[in-house]
Chain A
Amino acid sequence: MAIAEQKLTSTAPTTSESFQWRSWLATVDHKKIGIIYIISAFVFFIIGGIEAMLMRVQLGTPNNTFLSADLYNQLFTMHATTMVFLVVMPMNVGIGNYVVPLMIGARDMAFPRLNAFSVWLFLGGGFLLYLSFLTGGATNVGWFAYAPLTQTQFSPGQGVDYWILGLGLTGVASIAGALNFIVTVLNMRAPGMTINRMPLFVWMNLVVSFILIFAFPTFTVASIQLLFDRQFGAAFFNPALGGDAVLWQHLFWFFGHPEVYILILPVMGMISEVLPVYSRKPIFGYSFVAFSGVGIGFLGFIVWAHHMFGTGMGPLANGFFAAASMVIAIPTGVKIFNWIATMWGGDVRLTTAMLYAIGFISMFIIGGISGITLASPPIDLQQTDSYYVVAHFHYVLFGGSILGLFAGAFYWFPKMTGRMLNEMLGKVQFWLMLISMNVTFFPMHFLGTEGMPRRIYTYESGMGWEMWNFIETIGTFFLAFSVLLFIYNVLVSLRSGEVASNDPWDAATLEWVVPSPPPSYNFLHIPQVTSRRPLWDAKYPHSTADDHHGEKSAPSQIRYEYSHEDSPGAKEIHMPTLTYMPMVLSSGLTVAALGFIYINQAILGLPMRVASYVFIAIGFVMVFYAIRGWVLDSRRDSPYLGHH
């Protein structure tokens, strides 16, 4: 089944169809929800990028007065909070939402309404976080919010409370999303797709979902405790009243370290999909790559205090966490070698997606190496809290997560939109982004080594930091331009890009069986899976292989589907109905959370707490209404009742 035989009919809606608000606001379709996540995350990426550019303008010259100290402090806090919680996480979840059900041959996620709830609640949380800029100032205590700076006497105003409640909402959204992924991947795979035949992107999403549900509760508890400190007279983290400032750090990083694996593992899964396709060979060492992901997931829970080497835990504790942190380099290294070996002996096509995947590996090597030096407590004591660590995490987060997400974007854009992105523009954008990324972040290693602390809104002249800071600021502008190029590419391609077939890349996994974009029900006929690369084995049944490690059972019967909403047989497929309830529920929680922020304030000209109680009451009314409606929806859709 060669590519040339595929039909080239775009199933994307034509631009003449009017935008259906209801079909988006009341959607429970994983593909639409994925797109909402992706677009929202991208918008936040722009916002976070602007925050970064403002900071870099301020730091471009010494003793600069472009930004006040307080505004700078708000910006660096919100930049990090945005990039971690409102960009990389939702982008991962968005792409995962779109692709995972397709990859496992399912029609949707296990809990479509819960899925919708997650995306609207994520937006509610993001809204709260950014509302704070307009209501007296955003949080300005750093994204890890060390105690006791976060106590009311040092951080008056509501900024920190907005941060707590905003991230509380996004945290609930994330946990709900992770539960959804776990059940979907464990329970909804197509017949024949054993766990050992799942695509690696699905594996990584499963691992990350488990990490998430076990790591987030600690952060939830810590932030609840902080909220109680600030609003209800508790003193969990207030040493002046018997609390413990270091306890916050332990609780936060117990969550915070697994969090960074949540940020990177799905992207590693994407790379594990992209590389084999453009090398025209399977991933080298599927089992090692899968299990190294699991290993990283487990190990990620026992390394947290490498963020705390300077807090005086003592050499024994430091030694343990140092050892564990170094051990975690091993499964990471394994992945890199497996990826290189995947390309070795292959027929490597340097599409934009492939360039991004290779760029990811290259930049991640650098980030990984700086991570090794940071894992050594003595060296860490010089490097932490300086621009060296800023360099490290930007290499793994920008050079890693962001570049990898662009690889995923170029790879799956045709599937999601029915159009190909412009490759020429893409390649120009890639090289510009790669070079300017290095210009912006590599010198930070030097600055840190030269003694520049982090989180400083300005620095004096004569320290020798001027040149690199200026260069980094220039780099930022080119980086921003490369993102603009991407936006231009997307807009132009949506309008007039080459129409995409089902399988424009000659790929291996099930999402390329269906049209681009797929109909709402995904597969007309749920595929029967007999190997790890069901589509590939159908296209190339005689492709030589040393052996399949026993995972191939029968010739693949997969064929391309050319179906749409009105295809014969489509009407018999019953998808869950549209419903506004998930959006109402998330909105209710957002309103109640907003009320909670002002639980000890007199606002809107009303007496103390009145406005707060009103908001909370309205929020809870909405919540109960939505729950009732949701239960009725589930009755309506129940497979047992056969009402439709």
Chain B
Amino acid sequence: MSSSAGHTHHGEAHQKPLVGSMGVDSRKLGLWAFIGSETLFFATLILTHLIFYARTTNTLSSVGALELLDPRLGYLAIELTTVLATLLLASSLTMVLALAASKARDWKRFRFWQLATILLGASFVGGQIYEFIHLYHEGLKLAPAYEMHLSHEAYKALSALNIDPSIVRLKEAGEHATALVPSLFGVTFFVMTGFHGLHVTIGIIWLIAIYVKVLRFPESPENPMDIELGGLYWHFVDLVWVAIFTLIYLI
């Protein structure tokens, strides 16, 4: 529960921890408060995305084009993101194992599981980047409209609906047909998942720093707490992904 602010070594009346303190390590308490703050941060991003997604679906269903042009169905591949979610959840598991190893002072085991966590995290980020690039080529960008590639049948079906071009603009260029739909789905999606990815990246850097530090000073007595704090942040970042995955991809 102590922090580094002004401690004494000799003969000082020992602070009774229970009455003046919550009994939780200060840095852990601080990190929990920070996590509380970050929860609001991501909640705002997620809420904004859901608001604009709802508007898009309302508009599309009012012209009968929702099934063909729903950006969620058209762009968000459940398969890839399930793999990503699995990677991140697995990394939380390996993080727990790393912490357990550090508490048992088995530094070899710790380094193994910590490295596994870092690699799994890095694969997640790599996968996210791959998904972003893939979506970009499919027509979903950080732009206030998405351009969805259409199959021939889809193009025919949409043309038959005679939709106002300000809601859906159909384009045909030879073999390729697309539908341009003004929508903030792309913008809100990339900002939300992009900032999550940024948080994961910061987490990876943090975990690498811990790895290096423990490598150099394995006997440092504060190592388990350092690892636990990094792990706490890492679990949070994973939980945010679970929330995003559930709210954005599944429901």
Interfacial chain B residues near A194, Cβ < 8 Å: 19
Q: Are A107 and B29 in touch, CB under 8 angstroms?
A: no
Confirm or deny: B15 has a beta carbon within 8 angstroms of a beta carbon on chain A.
yes
Q: Are A193 and B19 in touch, CB under 8 angstroms?
A: yes
Tell which of A189, A216, A224, A642 touches B191, judged by Cβ atoms closer than 8 Å. A224
A220 closest partner in B (C-beta) = B41
Q: Are A247 and B51 in touch, CB under 8 angstroms?
A: yes
Q: Are B40 and A638 in touch, CB under 8 angstroms?
A: no
Q: Are A191 and B7 in touch, CB under 8 angstroms?
A: no
Interfacial chain A residues near B142, Cβ < 8 Å: 228, 232-234
- The proximity string for B residues 12-33 relative to A, scoring 1 for CB distances below 8 Å and 0 otherwise, is 1101100111101011011001
A73 to chain B, nearest CB (A): 28
Q: Are A235 and B144 in touch, CB under 8 angstroms?
A: yes
Which of A182, A194, A247 has the most B CB atoms < 10 Å from its CB? A182
Tell which of B26, B38, B187, B217 touches A236, judged by Cβ atoms closer than 8 Å. B187
Interfacial chain A residues near B5, Cβ < 8 Å: 106-112, 188, 575-576
Q: Are B37 and A233 in touch, CB under 8 angstroms?
A: no
Interfacial chain A residues near B145, Cβ < 8 Å: 241-242
**A512–B159 CA distance with the chains assembled, in angstroms:** 81
A521 closest partner in B (C-beta) = B6
Confirm or deny: A187 has a beta carbon within 8 angstroms of a beta carbon on chain B.
yes
Confirm or deny: B182 has a beta carbon within 8 angstroms of a beta carbon on chain A.
yes
Interfacial chain B residues near A107, Cβ < 8 Å: 5-6
Confirm or deny: B128 has a beta carbon within 8 angstroms of a beta carbon on chain A.
no
Given contacts A183-B33, A228-B187, A228-B191, contact A639 B15 (CB under 8 A): no
Confirm or deny: B162 has a beta carbon within 8 angstroms of a beta carbon on chain A.
no
Confirm or deny: B221 has a beta carbon within 8 angstroms of a beta carbon on chain A.
yes
Confirm or deny: A497 has a beta carbon within 8 angstroms of a beta carbon on chain B.
no
Q: How large is the interface on B (under 10, 10 to 19, 20 to 34, 35 or more residues)?
A: 35 or more
Q: Are B220 and A187 in touch, CB under 8 angstroms?
A: no
Q: Are A233 and B143 in touch, CB under 8 angstroms?
A: yes
Given contacts A192-B19, A235-B144, contact A576 B9 (CB under 8 A): no
Q: Are A188 and B187 in touch, CB under 8 angstroms?
A: no
Interfacial chain B residues near A189, Cβ < 8 Å: 19-21
Interfacial chain A residues near B27, Cβ < 8 Å: 111, 183
Q: Are A217 and B41 in touch, CB under 8 angstroms?
A: yes
A109 to chain B, nearest CB (A): 7
CB-CB contacts below 8 Å: A224-260 with B: 224-225, 228, 232-236, 238, 241-244, 247, 251
A636 closest partner in B (C-beta) = B4
**A573–B187 CA distance with the chains assembled, in angstroms:** 54
Q: Are B191 and A234 in touch, CB under 8 angstroms?
A: yes
Interfacial chain A residues near B8, Cβ < 8 Å: 572-574
Confirm or deny: B82 has a beta carbon within 8 angstroms of a beta carbon on chain A.
no
Tell which of B24, B48, B209 touches A247, judged by Cβ atoms closer than 8 Å. B48
Given contacts A111-B3, A224-B191, contact A572 B9 (CB under 8 A): yes
**A514–B140 CA distance with the chains assembled, in angstroms:** 64
B221 closest partner in A (C-beta) = A640
Q: Are B37 and A573 in touch, CB under 8 angstroms?
A: no
Given contacts A112-B5, A175-B37, A228-B187, contact A187 B19 (CB under 8 A): no
**A109–B4 CA distance with the chains assembled, in angstroms:** 10
Tell which of B21, B30, B48, B184 touches A180, judged by Cβ atoms closer than 8 Å. B30
Q: How large is the interface on A (under 10, 10 to 19, 20 to 34, 35 or more residues)?
A: 35 or more
Interfacial chain B residues near A180, Cβ < 8 Å: 30
Confirm or deny: A365 has a beta carbon within 8 angstroms of a beta carbon on chain B.
no
Confirm or deny: B188 has a beta carbon within 8 angstroms of a beta carbon on chain A.
yes
A624 closest partner in B (C-beta) = B205
Q: Are A242 and B48 in touch, CB under 8 angstroms?
A: no
Confirm or deny: B183 has a beta carbon within 8 angstroms of a beta carbon on chain A.
yes
- The proximity string for A residues 567-601 relative to B, scoring 1 for CB distances below 8 Å and 0 otherwise, is 00000111110000000000000000000000000
Q: Are B144 and A241 in touch, CB under 8 angstroms?
A: yes
Q: Are A576 and B37 in touch, CB under 8 angstroms?
A: no
Confirm or deny: B80 has a beta carbon within 8 angstroms of a beta carbon on chain A.
no
Confirm or deny: A641 has a beta carbon within 8 angstroms of a beta carbon on chain B.
yes
Interfacial chain A residues near B144, Cβ < 8 Å: 233-235, 238, 241-243
Tell which of B1, B20, B182, B213 touches A193, judged by Cβ atoms closer than 8 Å. B20
Q: Are A182 and B40 in touch, CB under 8 angstroms?
A: no
A108 closest partner in B (C-beta) = B5
Interfacial chain B residues near A635, Cβ < 8 Å: 217, 220
Given contacts A112-B5, A187-B22, A236-B187, contact A218 B40 (CB under 8 A): yes
A112 closest partner in B (C-beta) = B5
Which of A175, A225, A234 has the most B CB atoms < 10 Å from its CB? A234
A644 closest partner in B (C-beta) = B9
**A403–B125 CA distance with the chains assembled, in angstroms:** 52
Tell which of A182, A220, A526, A642 touches B9, judged by Cβ atoms closer than 8 Å. A642
B119 to chain A, nearest CB (A): 22
A527 closest partner in B (C-beta) = B13
Interfacial chain B residues near A637, Cβ < 8 Å: 4
A627 closest partner in B (C-beta) = B209
Tell which of A188, A631, A638, A642 touches B4, judged by Cβ atoms closer than 8 Å. A638
A640 closest partner in B (C-beta) = B221
- The proximity string for B residues 135-166 relative to A, scoring 1 for CB distances below 8 Å and 0 otherwise, is 00000001111000000000000000000000
**A378–B245 CA distance with the chains assembled, in angstroms:** 43
Q: Are A111 and B187 in touch, CB under 8 angstroms?
A: no
B141 closest partner in A (C-beta) = A233
Q: Are A236 and B37 in touch, CB under 8 angstroms?
A: no
B61 to chain A, nearest CB (A): 16
Q: Are A110 and B26 in touch, CB under 8 angstroms?
A: yes
B4 to chain A, nearest CB (A): 4
**A34–B162 CA distance with the chains assembled, in angstroms:** 67
- The proximity string for A residues 149-182 relative to B, scoring 1 for CB distances below 8 Å and 0 otherwise, is 0000000000000000000000000010011101
Interfacial chain B residues near A521, Cβ < 8 Å: 6
Q: Are B4 and A634 in touch, CB under 8 angstroms?
A: yes
Interfacial chain B residues near A233, Cβ < 8 Å: 142-144
Confirm or deny: A39 has a beta carbon within 8 angstroms of a beta carbon on chain B.
no
Confirm or deny: A186 has a beta carbon within 8 angstroms of a beta carbon on chain B.
yes
Given contacts A175-B37, A217-B37, contact A574 B1 (CB under 8 A): no
Confirm or deny: B123 has a beta carbon within 8 angstroms of a beta carbon on chain A.
no
- The proximity string for A residues 190-206 relative to B, scoring 1 for CB distances below 8 Å and 0 otherwise, is 11111000000000000
Q: Are B34 and A213 in touch, CB under 8 angstroms?
A: yes
Interfacial chain A residues near B51, Cβ < 8 Å: 244, 247
Interfacial chain B residues near A191, Cβ < 8 Å: 15-16, 19-20
Tell which of B12, B29, B40, B213 touches A183, judged by Cβ atoms closer than 8 Å. B29
Confirm or deny: A454 has a beta carbon within 8 angstroms of a beta carbon on chain B.
no
Which of B1, B6, B51, B144 has the most A CB atoms < 10 Å from its CB? B6
Tell which of A182, A228, A526 touches B30, judged by Cβ atoms closer than 8 Å. A182
Tell which of A182, A188, A217, A638 touches B21, judged by Cβ atoms closer than 8 Å. A188
**A216–B10 CA distance with the chains assembled, in angstroms:** 43
**A453–B7 CA distance with the chains assembled, in angstroms:** 58
A113 closest partner in B (C-beta) = B4
A637 closest partner in B (C-beta) = B4
Confirm or deny: A123 has a beta carbon within 8 angstroms of a beta carbon on chain B.
no
A336 to chain B, nearest CB (A): 31
Confirm or deny: B45 has a beta carbon within 8 angstroms of a beta carbon on chain A.
yes
Interfacial chain A residues near B6, Cβ < 8 Å: 106-108, 521-522, 573-576
Q: Are A639 and B4 in touch, CB under 8 angstroms?
A: yes
Given contacts A108-B5, A642-B9, contact A218 B44 (CB under 8 A): yes
Given known contacts A112-B5, A238-B144, A572-B10, what 18 new A-B pairs fall within 8 Å (CB)?
A106-B5, A108-B6, A110-B5, A182-B30, A186-B21, A186-B22, A213-B37, A214-B37, A214-B40, A224-B191, A232-B142, A236-B48, A242-B144, A242-B145, A525-B12, A525-B13, A573-B6, A639-B4
16 inter-chain pairs at a CB distance below 8 angstroms, sorted by A residue, are A111-B5, A180-B30, A182-B33, A183-B27, A186-B29, A187-B24, A194-B19, A217-B44, A220-B41, A228-B187, A228-B191, A236-B184, A244-B51, A525-B13, A573-B6, A641-B221
- B residues sitting closer than 8 Å to A (CB atoms) are 1-13, 15-16, 19-22, 24, 26-27, 29-30, 33-34, 36-38, 40-41, 44-45, 48, 51-52, 55, 142-145, 182-184, 187-188, 191, 195, 209, 213, 217, 220-222
